[in-house]
């Protein structure tokens, strides 16, 4: 079964040098348009974080602009990250992918050890370096994308083989997913698993292997989810809707906010739910404030921007100069769009409550900076052109093993 993005440069560069120029122009445009989309999303984020978080900031920090200026700083740093990594040859991540991947395993494992020893209380998700902190799962997610892109490219001749390709990649994926899940961070672990399996499928792994794996893992995932009472409460409140607990309260307030917006919204700063009714209105439920203040039209604009992001990512991936760039672009695009869809689905009560932020819009620095890194790499991939000699001959670019 041929995948839509299975490694085949001949199909994309079949037009010789003229074809290379044409595809180079299309992906260069996609990279520039992607930058515009990200800037618009960040601007929306600054406005909405301020309008949704002013009341909470006044209550917690006696400063209505507390979240605003921090989000502005995060956005500026994010744009700097985009432009910095857009100037770097993305192929350096191929050489470093193994180092990054196993470093992420050590960090995730180290956090669990500290949690077991009682050094870390509660969830073992963050590493603190002085005043700075970052969520290790964000690093692990991108490290996995880089390493899987390298493995898929290196194993393209026997990607369908069970022992030579599928089992080794599945083992690496399950290591990352398990460590994240036991942090505990079940929602992030589930999303990382989806990203990994998506890359394996697009890389050419046999669908029957993936389905058999899913059939074995889904019951285990359900049992793991039911092992903690708070996760059971989330699921029950999602399905019965009659629970009077905090989780059901969040969902009700979110739906009220979306309903208040109507077609064109109440106007900037006019949200009713942000006034301490909706917890995390500036983060996990920021989409509710968009729907309430800007209405159905505003919510649709945000959805359209992420749809355009997805299309730009696919164009960049399809016209990438090599297989590694192609699968890195696919992995990053799937990651950012998947997180956006899950956040919006939770805000709309389509999925149970999770702690997934809306990329580039929700308040916070770690996720925004890592996603900005991903965008910078996408732009770098869009700028890299296939050598004319290789384009005219139609042969694949040689990629030696590192």
Tell me what pLDDT residue 130 has. Answer: 66
- pLDDT above 70 (res 57): yes
- pLDDT above 80 (res 245): no
List the helix and strand counts (H, then E) for the chain. 14, 2
Residue 164: how many CB atoms within 10 A of its CB? 12
Query: How confident is residue 16, by pLDDT bands cut at 50, 70 and 90?
Result: very low
- pLDDT above 50 (res 58): yes
User: Which one is predicted more confidently, 348 or 326?
Assistant: 326
Helix (H) or strand (E) holding 128: strand 126-129
Mean pLDDT (whole number) for 186-200: 95
Mean pLDDT (whole number) for 188-201: 95
CA dist., res. 276 & res. 183, Å (int): 30
Q: Evaluate whether 30 touches 22 at the Cβ level (below 8 Å).
A: no
Tell me what pLDDT residue 390 has. Answer: 46
CA dist., res. 124 & res. 324, Å (int): 32
Query: How confident is residue 248, by pLDDT bands cut at 50, 70 and 90?
Result: low
State the average pLDDT for the chain. Answer: 84
Tell me what pLDDT residue 397 has. Answer: 38
Residue 48 makes CB contacts below 8 A (sequence gap 6+) with 282, 286, 289, 290, 293, 361
Least Cα distance to 362 among 269, 285, 274 occurs for: 285
Query: How confident is residue 85, by pLDDT bands cut at 50, 70 and 90?
Result: very high
Can you point out the beta strands (E) in 188-288? none
- pLDDT above 90 (res 176): yes
The structure's pTM equals: 0.87
CA dist., res. 158 & res. 176, Å (int): 24
- pLDDT above 90 (res 98): yes
Tell me what pLDDT residue 272 has. Answer: 79
Q: Evaluate whether 186 touches 233 at the Cβ level (below 8 Å).
A: no
List C-alpha distances in Å: 387 to 19, 284, 329, 376: 12, 44, 19, 22
Tell me what pLDDT residue 10 has. Answer: 38
**Among residues of the chain, what percentage have pLDDT more than 90?**
52
Tens of pLDDT, residue by residue over 283-294, are 888 999 999 999
Least Cα distance to 394 among 94, 28, 18 occurs for: 18
CA dist., res. 41 & res. 307, Å (int): 12
> Would you give the end-to-end CA distance of the chain in angstroms?
29
Tell me what pLDDT residue 398 has. Answer: 36
**Among residues of the chain, what percentage have pLDDT more than 70?**
84
Tell me what pLDDT residue 399 has. Answer: 41
- pLDDT above 70 (res 275): no
Q: Would you call 279 exposed, middle or buried from its count of C-beta atoms within 10 A (0-12, 13-18, 19+)?
A: middle
- pLDDT above 70 (res 3): no
């Amino acid at each position: 079964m041929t995948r839509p993005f299975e490694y085949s440069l001949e199909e994309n560069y079949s037009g010789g040098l003229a074809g290379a120029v044409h595809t180079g122009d299309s992906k260069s445009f996609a990279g520039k348009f992607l930058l515009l989309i990200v800037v618009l999303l960040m601007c929306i984020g600054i406005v909405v974080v301020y309008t949704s978080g002013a009341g909470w900031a006044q209550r917690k920090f006696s400063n209505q602009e507390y979240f605003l200026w921090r989000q502005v700083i995060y956005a500026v740093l994010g744009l700097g990250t985009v432009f910095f990594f857009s100037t770097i040859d993305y192929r350096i991540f191929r050489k470093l992918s193994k180092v990054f991947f196993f470093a992420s395993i050590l960090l995730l494992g180290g956090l669990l050890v500290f949690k077991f020893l009682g050094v870390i209380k509660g969830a073992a998700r963050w590493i603190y370096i002085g005043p700075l902190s970052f969520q290790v799962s964000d690093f692990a997610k991108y490290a996995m994308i880089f390493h899987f892109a390298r493995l898929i490219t290196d194993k393209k001749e026997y990607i369908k083989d069970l022992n030579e390709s599928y089992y080794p990649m599945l083992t690496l994926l399950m290591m990352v997913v398990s460590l994240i899940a036991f942090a505990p961070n079940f929602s992030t672990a589930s999303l990382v698993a989806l990203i990994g399996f998506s890359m394996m499928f697009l890389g050419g792994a046999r669908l029957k292997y993936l389905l058999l794996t899913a059939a074995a893992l889904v019951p285990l995932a359900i049992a793991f989810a039911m092992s903690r009472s708070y996760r059971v409460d989330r699921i029950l409140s999602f399905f019965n809707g009659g629970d009077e607990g905090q989780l059901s309260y969040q969902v009700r307030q979110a739906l009220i906010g979306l309903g208040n917006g109507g077609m064109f919204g109440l106007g900037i700063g006019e949200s009713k739910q942000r006034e301490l009714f909706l917890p995390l209105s500036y983060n996990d439920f920021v989409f509710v404030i968009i729907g309430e203040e800007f209405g159905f039209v505003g919510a649709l604009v945000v959805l359209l921007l992420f749809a355009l992001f997805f299309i730009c990512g696919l164009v960049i991936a399809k016209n990438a100069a090599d297989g590694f760039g192609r699968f890195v672009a696919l992995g990053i695009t799937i990651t950012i769009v998947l997180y956006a869809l899950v956040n919006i689905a939770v805000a709309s009560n389509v999925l149970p409550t999770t702690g997934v932020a809306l990329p580039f819009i929700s308040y916070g620095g770690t996720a925004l900076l890592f996603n900005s890194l991903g965008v910078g790499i996408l732009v770098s991939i869009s700028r890299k052109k296939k050598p004319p000699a290789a384009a005219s001959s139609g042969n694949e670019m040689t990629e030696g093993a590192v």
